[in-house]
Amino acid sequence: MEEYVQQALEIVKAQASVRTMSEEEITSMVQSLSKQLKDIVEGTESAQESEQTQEPAVDPKKAIREKAVVCLECGKKFKVLSKKHLAQHGLTPEEYKEKWGYKKNTSLIAKALARQRKQKMQEMQLWKRRTTS
């Protein structure tokens, strides 16, 4: 098991050199990578089992933050968790929300950005401009 942890540390170290990562992200990434590496080497049956009992990168209740949304699949931070990114994990936004226990109407966007967009739409008042003479 130690060699898998060592390999996972190397991968996470490379990732941390490219972007800032919290201690929590680094720890969870090392754990999940070492387990995945072990599963790959030992066979696909154990890999399928680990997928079913996958641990989130962070607590799902804390994933939607003020300035970022943390992808629970990989631990990366985004302002908006897009369909394109979720497709890389083989999920649609609906499947992602269901898998991690979010309500269907939950938006996968940082709180500050959502407020900013709402305010902008209220200022624009597009529903009033539609009436032309």
Q: What is the pLDDT of residues 13-66, one digit of tens each?
A: 888 888 888 888 888 888 888 888 888 877 755 445 545 567 787 888 889 999
- The superfamily CATH assigns to domain 59-133 is ROS/MUCR transcriptional regulator protein (1.10.10.1550)
HSE-CB at 12 with a 13 A cutoff on CA atoms is 23
CB-count burial class (<10 Å; 0-12, 13-18, 19+) for 49: exposed
pTM of the model as a whole: 0.55
Domain extent listing, the chain: 1-55, 59-133
